[in-house]
Structures are given as C-alpha cells and as structure tokens.
A and B are shown apart, each in its own frame.
Chain A
C-alpha cells in the first residue's frame, strides 16, 4: 500500500512538473498541500478520469488568478488578452488531460486497455472534492512564485478492484 502511495505521489509530482515545463515553460515546485488562498474571482477545477487497468481520476485546483496566468502562458498571449470564460476553461481542461495522460501511461503500463475520459471543468467558490472511503486519495501541493496549485488523485485500490 505504501509503495503504491509513494508511486502515485512521485508520478503526480513528475507529471505536473513535466506538463508545466513543456507546455508553459514554467517551473512548479512541490509543497505541502494547503487550501488555496481565497480569490474573489473564484476557483477552478479541471478533472480527467482514467478507466482500465488503473481506475482513477485526477483533479487540478487553481484560483482564477493563477488559471489566467496558466492560460496566457499556454496560448502565448498576454494576461489582459485572456478571457475568463471559455479560454480558461479549455486551457485548464487540456492541462488536466495532459497530466492525467502522463499518469495513465505509467499506471497502466501492463498492456491492458486503459482510456482517458473527456476533461471536465468546474468553477466556483471554495470547491472541494469528496472521495469514497475505498479509494486512495493523494493531494500534492505545488507552488510557482506567489501562485499555488493542488493536484489530487483518487485511485481505486487495486485490492478493492480485484475483489
């Protein structure tokens, strides 16, 4: 169990760092998970599931301020050009898709079919996700300068799945 948790934590750290580096040319460093600071513009959560040899779901949490920065970097446009609507939603969804894809490829390396779901994005104030007791739940915090990001992985325990 501990091995699996360590693996999930390591892969999540690698996945987020790799995606931010490749797509945004941005360094993010792991930090202990803490609640995101309050942002009057709200929070955004991108989520993508993976189904197959490993079953789970990845959530990326960011406040809207950081989400706009991410979107601007991803599209190579200045922050004022970022519209807070579809542009941010789509960028966070795609970012989640890439992180989930990275995780899926390494968790489902046995050759059995495993598929990603289509990304979904939720916005609101003080959002949180509750998982059932039978899943492994890991939350990793990340920091870039003043900005914070949370990556949460819910993974169905393989012992549960096989039973």
Chain B
C-alpha cells in the first residue's frame, strides 16, 4: 500500500516542491493550505507522515501540532516540521510537542527525502510497478564485475530477451550509474576486490531511490562461505558460475516478480493449454507452479473443463518434467478438469515406460487432444 504523506503549508510552491520530490516514490502526497484544512485532512486520510509548516495564516504549525497531539487517533502520527523559523526558541517549542524531525528552509530535495526516509519506508515507484512487468518488458540489469568473460556470459545468456545489460567494472561506477539511472537489478561479483560487492550493497541501501534495488551475487559454485555471507548481508540470491542461461533468466524473473505465465499458459477453445519449452530448468517448475492455480481457476470460471499439456517442444521427458506434469494433473483433477497430452512418438514412448504415466492419453496435435476429450 502506498505511503500517505500530508503536507500542510500555506505556500503552494512548497507543496509543489514536496509533491515533486516524492514523485519517484510509491507514495500519495496530500496537500492542505492551512492548519484547519490540514487537521481535517489528517482525520479523514490518516496519513503515515505529516510535513508541517510553522508560519501559516488561520492556524499556525504550533497549534496544529498541539491539536494533533491531543487527538487520540492522530497523536502518534509522525510529524516533520518544515520551517523557515530556525530560531532556538521556535525549535525548543517544536521539540517540546514531540516532532520526529524538523527541516529548516531552504532545503534540498535530497535532504527532505533522506529525513522522511528515516521515518517511513519509501519505496521507489519503479520498484513497485516492476512487480507487474512481464518477461518481455524491457528491464535494466547492471553487472558489476571486473571480468569481461563473465559479462560476455551474461549478455549471451540474456540475448534472447529485450533486457538491457549495463556493465561496471568497479563498485563506484556501479553506484554512480544506479544513482543516475533506473536500474531494476544488480548482478555483483562476490570476488570484486576489497569486498566491493558488499560495499556496493551497503551504498545502494543508503539511498532511498536505490534502497530497494535487488542484488544477486555472482559466485563460483564452490565458494559457499562467500555465498552464505552474501545472503546474510542482503543479497536476494546467488547466480553460480559458469553461468547457466536458463537459471539466470529464471532467477531474474523470480527476483523481479516478472509475469511469465503467458509463456506457458494459454486459454484456448474452452481448454487450458500448458506448453513446456525445449529445455527443463528448475525455474520452469517454479514459474509453472506459481501460476498454475490461478490459471486453472480462470479456466473453470470461464466454463472450461479441459487441460491440454503440450510437450511437442520438449527434448526429453526426463524425471523432473514428468514430476512437474504429475503435479499439474493432480491440481487439475481437484477442479475436475480432464486432461490430454500432446507430444511426439518419442515422448509418448518415454512416458509409457513409467507406471505413473503409462495411461496418459496422448495426441499428435492440440486439435486431436481436444477431440480426444470431447
């Protein structure tokens, strides 16, 4: 849920500056031009934070603060005073009424964000919006690694995506780029000199606009101590080297919550079609399982009663593939969906050799599978 910030200031200029300062963040800025309007807005909207001017007509900031503190519903709402009144007497009066902080005008937008960020959890709007992004949307990935070969592996692994890969061979350069550009994800080598990856993580967490950029660590498979340390420090996951493209893509999708279901699920002719790709990878099982229930429910809701599992592209019906399909069929059977499998002769023969799969109804095409289920 978005953070609600109420700015009570008689100056429209200041209200506009505040609203602009918080535009990059997932918050709603409510405005009130004086204390009376501000108190009414606070009662109605229950903001997470109030930015309060001191000198105002109608009712000054001091009185607003006193009334807030005497209202049981609002007394714990944090208040930051935003004032041109830098005098000691004013500051003492304000402090006595319990403000969380105060900012003397003139102030820089960055300072306002920093102070507010200490009181409420500011999340960049882009980070919230990206949860709704799809796999085929453009995203920006920064690779912080001083080894060109690793960068080449990442670029090659992601070549079939519309994602933009930026490289930085030093943590400082990576931080500079993140501060000036929208970055969705950072891949940082855990072997950067002087604990560079960990320093980068700390630096990014220190700024409100980069605090929620997720980091994945790049590490050789056997460096388990580094990997554990990274995850304890706040890395959301590890990509092991040599980089496996399918694993890389799956971890990026999972980290960014990218919508991938459209790649596998399709509602067609009253049936839910699940198409598995050529190569199986652990991320695939996760992506299918995550979206399965909602897709099955949508099918039933729309009047559908069939499930068709398309294995035509699958290279080999290995055990993990079979396990995935069994879990899909079990979930479908709970909603009374009937199923058929589309596959090549080779896949069909492989399935016939397992007790659990020998009775699966196979068809050569989607249309034949539909006919089979009529």
Residues of A within 8 A of B (CB): 18-19, 22-23, 71, 74-76, 86-87, 90-91, 93-94, 97-98, 100-102, 104-105, 108-109, 111-119
Contact = CB atoms under 8 A, between A and B. Distances in A.
B13 A114 contact: no
The 4 tightest CB contacts between A and B, nearest first, are A101-B84, A105-B86, A22-B106, A23-B106
A113 B107 contact: no
A93 B13 CA distance: 9
Size range of the chain B interface in the assembly: 20 to 34
B352 interface: no
Given A98-B105, A101-B84, A104-B85, 17 more contacts: A71-B13, A74-B17, A75-B17, A87-B13, A94-B13, A98-B106, A100-B84, A101-B105, A104-B87, A105-B86, A105-B87, A108-B87, A113-B89, A114-B89, A118-B10, A118-B55, A119-B11
Contacts of B87: 104-105, 108-109, 114
A116 B10 CA distance: 14
A94 B85 CA distance: 13
Which of B10, B20, B107 is the most central at the interface, judged by chain A CB atoms within 10 Å of its CB? B10
The dominant DSSP class at the A interface is helix
Nearest to A88: B13
A101 B17 CA distance: 18
A94 B89 contact: no
A104 B85 CA distance: 8
Contact of B86 (A71, A102, A119): A102
A86 to B, nearest CB: 7
A88 to B, nearest CB: 10
Interface of B: 10-14, 16-17, 20, 55-57, 83-89, 104-108
Given A74-B17, A75-B20, A90 B12 contact: yes
Contacts of B89: 111-114
Contact of A116 (B11, B84, B104): B84
10 contacts: A23-B106, A71-B13, A86-B12, A90-B13, A97-B55, A101-B86, A105-B85, A111-B88, A112-B89, A113-B89
B58 to A, nearest CB: 10
A38 B369 CA distance: 85
